[in-house]
Amino acid sequence: MTNATLPKSLDLDISTRQRIQRQINLGHQQDPAAVIAYAMLLLDVEEDWIGFPRTPTPVAQVLHH
């Protein structure tokens, strides 16, 4: 596993951008970073549930309004 640095911006397909915007419009999250943090939290929960071995990840700070 490499320690890659993520770019400050990501190129997202239109479908993904629309899904993120929908979550914001519905009031589920306040901004794109919160949508992504919540999605990553759900991935962590799923990995824990199926017993997928991984390294510890930081807890998402923004989950709900």
Which residue type, as a one-letter code, is found at position 30? Q
pLDDT at 47: 81
The one-letter amino acid at 57: T
The model's pTM: 0.64
Write out pLDDT tens, residues 10-48: 888 999 999 999 999 999 899 999 999 999 999 888 887
User: Rounded CA gap, 25 and 61, in Å?
Assistant: 20
Residue 39's pLDDT is what? Answer: 92
With H, G, I as helix, E, B as strand and everything else as coil, classify residue 19: helix
- Where are the domains positioned within the chain? 30-65
> What sign has the CA pseudo-torsion 26, 31, 32, 38?
negative
Q: Write out the two tokens for 43.
A: 């991935």
Residue type, 53: P
